[in-house]
Structure 1
Amino acid sequence: MSQPQPARRIALDVIMAVRDSDAYANLLLPVRLGRAKLSEADAGLATELTYGTLRMQGYYDRVIAMAANRSTDKIDPAVLDVLRLACHQLLSMRVAQHAAVDESVELAKTVGSNSAVGFVNGVLRTITRTDTDTWRERVMAEAGSGEEALAFEYSHPLWVTRAFRQVLVAEGREAELESALAADNVAPRVSIAALPHESTVDELDAYPAAFSPVGVILDHGDPLNLAAIREGRARVQDEGSQLAALSLSRARPIRAGEQWLDLCAGPGGKAALLAAEARAGGAILTANELVPARAELVRKALAVFPSPPEVWELDGTEVGALYPASFDRILVDAPCTGLGALRRRPEARWRKQPSDVAGLGNLQAKLLASAIAALKPGGLLAYVTCSPHAAETKAIVTSVLRRAVDIERMDTPAVLQSIVKEPLDLPDATHVQLWPHRHGTDGMFIQLLSKAQVEWVTG
């Protein structure tokens, strides 16, 4: 029996682990590729197969259901994974049909019975008899609305599509919905942050980032080939995350002795950038991360500094009560659905549910209220999420500020425009919502807040 090509075998293994064990593709795939020691071309193929299949899973499931004449929930999960992987090759890649079908049949032999192998062969032969455009037309014909058609075509859950549309309508940019969905299906380029006073943009062999004054873009190659990355003086970090941290550190001049807090610091990317900024200005950063394993990642990220910032492992919702009015600047990078990073974590769109938004909203509000309590009068706070969903962004700020009479929204766009190298395309608002399709960053939400010289009011 011939063996499946290694790149396809690795892609299938990762896809199955994502489904079976809630594994994260962006964490597991590099490990599998490192063990396999594939050529650069084969590693690239495995990467495209894995991420592409996970991104377009919803669309491929509709094609498979039509070709198999049965619902996908009636198909053995491992066999369905093989079919999804084959669909990506047949419908979205320039792979010869016979190669895609033959290799998929070989994969089916490793996970299914003889009847399953025959089933896979039959379904894929049916798919190959119809061209890509016709399959698209058939899928679109099942949509009950234009909004649902976009959800089908760009392989997003309908609730996510509607959430994006709601935010874009509020921005007066509803026409951008299709572009926003399409951008989630394009692999992001590697963004790197040069930690100020530890490394420089010029030192990094890459293109300057569009907006971040400390950022570069690596178009190809392994970031670990850069000495500054290996030594921790620069970090792989999305440009949107860089701007979120810089909006707090550069909102106004730093006074020596300022106390800063990163309330939800794991895994440590923004904390490292804030630590570099604080060190340059004579401020003192404290990082907090409740989960011990993530706290260790924060310590590792901060180890580059001669005197690394202290890392607490406290419940962020209790920090305000434990350390009232203690910090001059606080970053609340709140846990969220991550809907702004779907291009980077393709499986997230299928894992998250509308109920997750409500559950996280309660935590986000508590963290923000705690941070406000921990903020000194006259202090600055940045509330940040990697999600454009209104219930995780504007709604949280509004709900908490109803009780925080001493807190004001700052003109966040004005602050950010004063920091970036090129003007950002931003609607008129007090907050900033970055978008992959508009800015080339993850979908970061940033709202700067300032505390007046009065006490926090409860009740």
Structure 2
Amino acid sequence: MSEQSRSQHHRPRRGAESGRGGRRSGPPPRPRDPARRVAYDVLRAVEQRDAYANLLLPVLLSERGVHGRDAALATELTYGTLRRQGTYDAVLETCVDRTLASVDGEVLPLLRMGAHQLLSTNIPPHAAVGETVDLARRVVGHHRSRFVNAILRKVSARDLEEWTAIVAPERDRDPSGYLSVVHSHPRWVVKELARALGERAKDAGLPRTEELLKAHNERPRVTLVAKPGRSKVSDLEEAGAEPGRYSPFAAYLPEGDPGAIREVRQNRAAVQDEASQLVALALTRVDAHGEDRRWLDMCAGPGGKAGLLASLAGQRDARLVASELQPARAGLVAGAVRRAPRDAGRAIVADGTRPAWRREVFDRVLVDVPCTGLGALRRRPESRWRRSPENVVELAPLQRELLTKAVESVRPGGVVAYVTCSPHLDETDVIVQGVLSERDDLELLRAPDYLDEVPDLAAGPEGRYAQFWPHVHGTDAMFLALLRKRNG
């Protein structure tokens, strides 16, 4: 189910009860306020089990039969709370007489969800407090529900603007801290995004960084890919989609469930961010200087880019090997490449750091390395609270090794695309330059030249990288470097 929003008060339907002698007939009654209960269960799972909201929420909505306005409210409460969690935590810290970290893990999602209703929706304050406290009685008990009631009544005493003036640092003195609180991102993330954008704290309050942070807190549109040779954008338009802005295979779905579209059900189309489509497309546009029959997607899970590459390979009489380390994800890849034109895609379980293939055998290699995912914070807002600078340090050796193995896997004259869904410079430029410094057989191509339809992509040395941005292109912040292996 695609993410939707709802900002008005909603009184949920009750389960029907009938029958003689007080006995219930038909299906069991729905729980009171199913929307808030689903949102609470997702938020708690995110906090306690590191669950991903975009995976768990649609499952719970389906399992519990929550549809329509209730589903829209549950979605708004879930994603809105996660996106604005940092702001709400700053407010709650002033309302709780102890550290927020000491608050019971079962109670904290209730406080955050209540704060979201009070500060960022049009739900009347009495309903926001009353419904959340009622839910608290049922999930954490009467005693702790009184604590929830007391804190939310303190929150309701001011609106968001008034609270911001109290809890946020002064912008002129601490622009990173101000943006961190106001736009709900960890301070270190704000600083690294500013660094990637080439802004410094003294640059009049980091205006471009602020635009990016705002974009992270907006609802992303659902983007579809029409797999070449299997469907067309016009097919998706007939299902209510609109043509994409840049990719020739993209379509935007304004509303509705993409799974209800025939082409998606039949694996002839899929959900895929437009930047993800374009970095794969760019690889196929580079002259491979010779034979062009063997392609490799080296870290293919869950299969979005592999599905597109397999379709493009089939149209050229080429073959794609899609490698993935985790068997479960390899199964997803196999589904994504299934029935590509001329059966051009094959998924295998393999470790990219210990390749199961010969050296210098492929004409084109895509290596979309594991990363912090800071480029997809619109879709996975909880990621901003899970990542730390230590994660960047831990991932760097793997990223560098995978790029090195990709270079070893491509033949002389062939091309490697290094891709991350993170704009963090230590995951992009630092990795690419590190590998370039160790080898004299690589040429860094100018990636934006292969994506002429997209403006304002150039980044890095002499503008040779392509960097997408949510606030500029309306896509995830995908990074692309194209490397050619020299002959001899």
TM over 0.5: yes
Q: CA deviation at 1:113?
A: 3.8
What SS does structure 2 have at the residue aligned with 1:381?
strand
Q: CA deviation at 1:74?
A: 1.9
Q: Is the 8 A contact 1:251 1:415 kept in 2?
A: yes
How many angstroms apart in 2 are the aligned matches of 1:44 and 1:185?
Answer: 17
Q: Is the 8 A contact 1:195 1:273 kept in 2?
A: yes
How many angstroms apart in 2 are the aligned matches of 1:393 and 1:253?
Answer: 23
How many angstroms apart in 1 are the aligned matches of 2:455 and 2:101?
Answer: 48
Q: CA deviation at 1:225?
A: 2.2
Confirm or deny that 1:85 pairs with 2:120. Answer: no
Residue identity opposite 1:167 in structure 2? A
What SS does structure 1 have at the residue aligned with 2:235?
coil
Classify 1:379/1:140 alpha carbon distance in 2 versus 1 (closer, same or farther; 3 Å). same
Q: CA deviation at 1:432?
A: 0.7
How many angstroms apart in 1 are the aligned matches of 2:234 and 2:357?
Answer: 43
What SS does structure 2 have at the residue aligned with 1:23?
coil
Match of 2:26 in 1: none
Match of 1:432 in 2: 466
What SS does structure 1 have at the residue aligned with 2:223?
strand
How many angstroms apart in 2 are the aligned matches of 1:290 and 1:223?
Answer: 28
Q: CA deviation at 1:114?
A: 2.9
Q: CA deviation at 1:112?
A: 2.3
Match of 1:451 in 2: 485
How many angstroms apart in 1 are the aligned matches of 2:56 and 2:393?
Answer: 29
Match of 1:16 among 44, 58, 61: 44
How many angstroms apart in 2 are the aligned matches of 1:358 and 1:121?
Answer: 42
How many angstroms apart in 1 are the aligned matches of 2:141 and 2:33?
Answer: 20
Higher relative contact order (CA 8 A, sep 6+): 1
Q: CA deviation at 1:346?
A: 0.9
Give runs of aligned pairs for residues 243-262 of structure 1, distance below 5 A: 243-252=278-287, 258-262=293-297
What SS does structure 1 have at the residue aligned with 2:443?
strand
How many angstroms apart in 1 are the aligned matches of 2:91 and 2:374?
Answer: 25
Flag structure 1 segments of 5+ consecutive residues without an equivalent.
Answer: 455-459
Range that drifts further, 401-410 or 111-120: 111-120
Confirm or deny that 1:38 pairs with 2:44. Answer: no
Q: CA deviation at 1:213?
A: 1.1
Q: CA deviation at 1:110?
A: 2.4
Q: Is the 8 A contact 1:257 1:284 kept in 2?
A: no
Classify 1:4/1:73 alpha carbon distance in 2 versus 1 (closer, same or farther; 3 Å). farther
Q: Is the 8 A contact 1:4 1:106 kept in 2?
A: no
How many angstroms apart in 2 are the aligned matches of 1:42 and 1:423?
Answer: 40
Confirm or deny that 1:209 pairs with 2:244. Answer: yes
Residue identity opposite 2:92 in structure 1? I
Match of 2:10 in 1: none
What SS does structure 1 have at the residue aligned with 2:251?
strand
Range that drifts further, 258-267 or 222-231: 222-231
Classify 1:166/1:395 alpha carbon distance in 2 versus 1 (closer, same or farther; 3 Å). same
Give runs of aligned pairs for residues 274-353 of structure 1, distance below 5 A: 274-305=309-340, 307=343, 309-319=345-355, 322-353=357-388
Residue identity opposite 1:279 in structure 2? G
Match of 2:232 among 197, 200, 214: 200
* 1:211-265 alpha-carbon deviations (Å, 9 max, x no partner): 1111010110111222111100111000010011101012238977521000000
* 1:305-357 alpha-carbon deviations (Å, 9 max, x no partner): 252522221110122x8411100000000000000000100110111111110
Residue identity opposite 1:165 in structure 2? A
Match of 1:457 in 2: none
Residue identity opposite 1:439 in structure 2? H
What SS does structure 2 have at the residue aligned with 1:78?
coil
Q: Is the 8 A contact 2:80 2:116 kept in 1?
A: yes
Match of 2:214 in 1: 182
Q: Is the 8 A contact 2:290 2:413 kept in 1?
A: no
Match of 2:178 among 139, 146, 149: 149
Residue identity opposite 1:95 in structure 2? I
How many angstroms apart in 1 are the aligned matches of 2:174 and 2:262?
Answer: 52
What SS does structure 2 have at the residue aligned with 1:260?
strand
Aligned-residue Cα RMSD (Å) equals 2.0
What's the % identity of the aligned pairs?
A: 45
Flag structure 2 segments of 5+ consecutive residues without an equivalent.
Answer: 1-13, 15-30
How many angstroms apart in 2 are the aligned matches of 1:345 and 1:190?
Answer: 13
Give runs of aligned pairs for residues 350-429 of structure 1, distance below 5 A: 350-417=385-452, 420=453, 423-424=455-456, 426=458, 429=463
